[in-house]
Structure 1
Amino acid sequence: MTTLRCISPIDGSVFAEREALSLEAARAEIRRVRDAQPAWAARPLAERVELVMAGVAAIGAQNDEIVPELARMMGRPVRYGGEFGGFNERASHMAQIAADSLADIEVGEDAQFKRYIRRVPHGVVFVVAPWNYPYMTAINTVAPALIAGNTVVLKHATQTLLVGERMARAFHQAGVPEDVFANVFLDHDTTSSLIGEKAFDFINFTGSVGGGAAMERAAAGTFTGVSTELGGKDPGYVMEDADLDAAVAGLVDAAMFNTGQCCCGIERIYVHESLFDAFVEKAVEIVNGYKLGNPLDPDTTLGPMAHPRFAAEVRAQVDEAVASGAKAHIERFAEDDGGAYLTPQILTNVSHDMRVMRDESFGPVVGIMPVKDDAEAIRLMNDSEYGLTASLWTRDLDRAARVGDQVQTGTVFMNRADYLDPGLCWTGCKNTGRGGGLSVIGYHNLTRPKSYHLKKVTS
């Protein structure tokens, strides 16, 4: 029997623990969920939407409990109020577009034939969710999967062990049947065995590149669809006509919010040489104003990283860069304990020879480089094995579109960063993964097309 433990980054104590299911127990749970799927899919779409949104509201009613619980599990300061705003926005949008997104595609009807394409659910959708935004990342798939008529099995990261349990309980209390939405506690070996046995009909995984590769290996030969959102090294580019103050505020926040532990956080910034010095000066001033500390303290603006080993990787990248000639602009904060509590850092004199500009940092550090023009910025932005988002800062929309067309990424932002618009497809390229969530495309990925070619009897 494997015990899963959530170690709080606040003080290193065990905050929660649960026993992982055995393989046999997991198989039985998934059989129960599979048996419930046809009846759930047969319910009217409006009824499924109503029940899912009731579950979303039930989570909102618990926000006062959820916010400090998240702080204890993964370190985000309570002053930021949790995730219900985005959680509700994403689910609500998917509810609003469900009827149109899932409507039959009419191909034609005449005296002889009626032809159409219907979107039908896969069956059992397996959602493997990460710890950094545990509610919002989970709802991206849970809500549209259920609305589309799938049943859902949710496995959450051990760092946020209680999130899936809380979500499932809230949805059940709101009327979603227990065998339609199940939370499970699984270890890696059991997860891989279940995938290899074709226990699921579709898999959505958000996490590391290594984790995504393990999912694909487990599914090899099963023909089970696997959608992945993996690593990132998202760039920002500040053009010479940008609103400098807005660019600094937006990009620094995107680099440092949630202690840099954001899927689409900014990890490298390219600034036109005419604005470079002023940009760096303003960025350093902002970061020096942060308060690192206990996330339960409402004055804290920067909490600990979720685990000391994550902080150790960021420290290693910074130390290697400085040893290779980079300049660190932020002096060590007094609260930096050498463990999960980490000084945020801004680096200049960096190059793509340094890991801090190539490898995912997923922490509060950003390298800033000057560039001469769009061509140099595009070349540097594309010099990455990842491609989730790119943030472009300019007053010229057409220019942003032209540059964006040449950047290898999933989403192009102009004059904003680190945001997920549920009306747009959330997707990536290269080692960031494949597939897409939210928007009408999210529904297409959570269903399969089924064609109807019906010949009429005319005599």
Structure 2
Amino acid sequence: MKQNQLLRCISPIDGSVFAERETLSKEAAFTLASRARAAQAIWANRPVQERIDLVLAGVAAVGAMNDEIVQELAHMMGRPIRYGGEFGGFNERANHMAAIAQTALADIAVSEDENFKRYIKRVPHGVVFVVAPWNYPYMTAINTVAPALIAGNTVVLKHATQTLLVGERMARAFHSVGIPEDVFQNVFLSHDVTNDLIADRAFDFVNFTGSVSGGQAMERAAAGTFTGVGTELGGKDPGYVMEDADLDAAVDTLIDAAMFNSGQCCCGIERIYVHESLFDEFVAKAVDIVKGYKLGNPLEPETTLGPMAHTRFANEVRTQVAEAIAGGAVPHIAPFAEDDGGAYLGPQILTNVTHQMRVMRDESFGPVVGIMPVKDDDEAVALMNDSEFGLTASLWSDNLDRAVAVGDRIETGTVFMNRADYLDPGLCWTGCKNTGRGGGLSVIGFHNLTRPKSYHLKKVTS
């Protein structure tokens, strides 16, 4: 049986092959994993501050490549160059985890007296396998790569085919500052070899960001191995605009959160509920914003909305929109001339939508949002919770206590007030329901990338 496959990144700009790499054979993949395991104890024995310094140097080396990276991202997944890539968030997240590392990884003292000393250490899992997605390929990867390395794990990174060159860039940067090659490795793997590695306990922890079906495949591969699996999967994140909200701020932020990156954001806003007293004005303002977008080649500075990463992603959004309109939804955006029926997809705002429509139920992951009026908090909460997903929810009000009370009732991983589509590295990035289980960043992120080890030491007394 042929083990090697050719992975191809098809550029959404023009459908050309932008990059291709051959996957590792099963034997080569297991050899690589063995090298990661052999290197781990030596890496973990280095002082924490030394590991921190090396990781931060690697992050800075990625930053030095940013001009090239911005162009590559446009070619690989269609994000317009005007937005400057991902280094801001990449750097913010790595630096925050570095800043809290000494405290987060410190021993937990329980007690010490003349007879006993008791404490809990945080020790690395060993080899951490990171499977990263294409939509924010640098930021999603660093969420785990930085704290995993700082905590003393070795890391094997497998990136999505759509962003085939990202892992190579990160590995090149990290190796250039002195992080050993076996400590941080980028790999190209087939699904079958990936499953074999996980099932054979080649890794001690798996972190996966991607689709629900992908997360299920990871859990099936790990079944019975007791290997920890952390997942961040689909989302259908809601926004709720209360009658006391700053309407202009709510419209600007929620529509940007729905449309930025052509709607291809893990925590992008996919459905909006607006108090009936503000509904018509909200929709009118939202439509004005979206009509001003410029769909086009992401390499051109004036482009504000690039192509979706792949034609099949765009076609799924088109299908959801068409189904909704056939079911009575009202579209508010005329077709963009640049919409080519392929990866270039014009944005859309829909009203008269219901939760019987897939566009309000299934993950769209594209530049479309449905907007519904609600009469009160109870109706809004019921609709927000009427979803198989739970990543974030964005609440708009001038009353913090009210927002907290509403947030307490929502089935979600993160509650925003007067903000949306942002990942705060000081808070745990987590989800519930079909969004998956686990938690990245913050102190909890370090705890999930280590295991507790307890010490109960009885002293010898004369």
Q: TM-score, with normalisation over the residues of structure 1? A: 1.00
Query: Which of the residues 124, 129, 138 maps onto 2:127?
Result: 124
Distance 1:324 1:64 in 2: 46
Q: Deviations over 1:319-352 (max 9, x none)?
A: 0000000000000000000000001000000000
**Counterpart secondary structure, 1:422:** coil
- Structure 2 residue runs of 5 or longer lacking an equivalent are none
**Counterpart secondary structure, 1:418:** coil
Q: Is structure 2 residue 366 aligned with structure 1 residue 363?
A: yes
Partner amino acid for 2:436? G
TM-superposed deviation, 1:315 = 0.2
**Counterpart secondary structure, 1:97:** helix
TM-superposed deviation, 1:241 = 0.5
Distance 1:335 1:49 in 2: 46
TM-superposed deviation, 1:448 = 0.1
Query: Which of the residues 206, 220, 225 maps onto 1:203?
Result: 206
Distance 2:419 2:81 in 1: 24
Distance 2:47 2:222 in 1: 32
Q: Deviations over 1:391-420 (max 9, x none)?
A: 000000000000000000000000010000
Q: Is structure 2 residue 391 aligned with structure 1 residue 388?
A: yes
Distance 2:201 2:453 in 1: 21
- Structure 1 residue runs of 5 or longer lacking an equivalent are none
Q: Is structure 2 residue 77 aligned with structure 1 residue 74?
A: yes
Matches within 5 A, 1:320-331: 320-331=323-334
Q: Is structure 2 residue 101 aligned with structure 1 residue 83?
A: no
Distance 1:59 1:169 in 2: 9
**Counterpart secondary structure, 1:9:** coil
What is the aligned partner in structure 1 of residue 426 from structure 2? 423
TM-superposed deviation, 1:294 = 0.2
**Counterpart secondary structure, 1:107:** strand
Partner amino acid for 2:192? D
TM-superposed deviation, 1:424 = 0.1
Query: Which of the residues 215, 218, 237 maps onto 1:215?
Result: 218
What is the aligned partner in structure 1 of residue 65 from structure 2? 62
Partner amino acid for 2:126? G
What is the aligned partner in structure 2 of residue 410 from structure 1? 413
What is the aligned partner in structure 1 of residue 352 from structure 2? 349
Distance 1:39 1:2 in 2: 33
TM-superposed deviation, 1:235 = 0.1
Identity %: 81
Q: Is structure 2 residue 273 aligned with structure 1 residue 263?
A: no
TM-superposed deviation, 1:37 = 0.2
Matches within 5 A, 1:434-445: 434-445=437-448
Distance 1:396 1:414 in 2: 9
Distance 1:316 1:451 in 2: 54
Query: Which of the residues 386, 398, 402 maps onto 1:399?
Result: 402
TM-superposed deviation, 1:268 = 0.1
Q: Is structure 2 residue 40 aligned with structure 1 residue 37?
A: yes
Q: Is structure 2 residue 278 aligned with structure 1 residue 275?
A: yes
Q: TM-score, with normalisation over the residues of structure 2? A: 0.99
**Counterpart secondary structure, 1:339:** coil
Distance 2:342 2:8 in 1: 19
Q: Deviations over 1:16-67 (max 9, x none)?
A: 0000000000000110111000000000000000000000000000000000
TM-superposed deviation, 1:305 = 0.2
Distance 1:334 1:165 in 2: 37
Distance 1:216 1:17 in 2: 28
Distance 2:79 2:191 in 1: 26
Q: Deviations over 1:292-325 (max 9, x none)?
A: 0000000000000000000000000000000000
What is the aligned partner in structure 1 of residue 247 from structure 2? 244
Distance 1:147 1:410 in 2: 25
Distance 2:135 2:179 in 1: 26
Q: Deviations over 1:192-244 (max 9, x none)?
A: 11111111000000000000000000000000000000000000000000000
Distance 1:199 1:365 in 2: 41
What is the aligned partner in structure 1 of residue 288 from structure 2? 285
Query: Which of the residues 310, 327, 336 maps onto 1:333?
Result: 336
Q: Is structure 2 residue 159 aligned with structure 1 residue 156?
A: yes
Distance 1:209 1:450 in 2: 32
Distance 1:391 1:174 in 2: 40
Partner amino acid for 1:86? G
TM-superposed deviation, 1:142 = 0.1
TM-superposed deviation, 1:95 = 0.1
Partner amino acid for 1:66? I
Distance 2:10 2:214 in 1: 20
Distance 1:158 1:145 in 2: 23
Matches within 5 A, 1:300-311: 300-311=303-314
Distance 2:45 2:178 in 1: 16
TM-superposed deviation, 1:444 = 0.3
Distance 2:280 2:41 in 1: 61
Distance 2:321 2:272 in 1: 16
Distance 1:340 1:328 in 2: 20
Distance 2:69 2:234 in 1: 26
TM-superposed deviation, 1:451 = 0.1
What is the aligned partner in structure 2 of residue 92 from structure 1? 95
Partner amino acid for 1:130? P
Partner amino acid for 1:373? D
What is the aligned partner in structure 1 of residue 302 from structure 2? 299
Q: Is structure 2 residue 36 aligned with structure 1 residue 28?
A: no
What is the aligned partner in structure 2 of residue 168 from structure 1? 171
What is the aligned partner in structure 2 of residue 133 from structure 1? 136
TM-superposed deviation, 1:107 = 0.3
**Counterpart secondary structure, 1:406:** coil
Distance 1:256 1:174 in 2: 37
Distance 2:145 2:330 in 1: 44
What is the aligned partner in structure 1 of residue 21 from structure 2? 18
**Counterpart secondary structure, 1:367:** strand
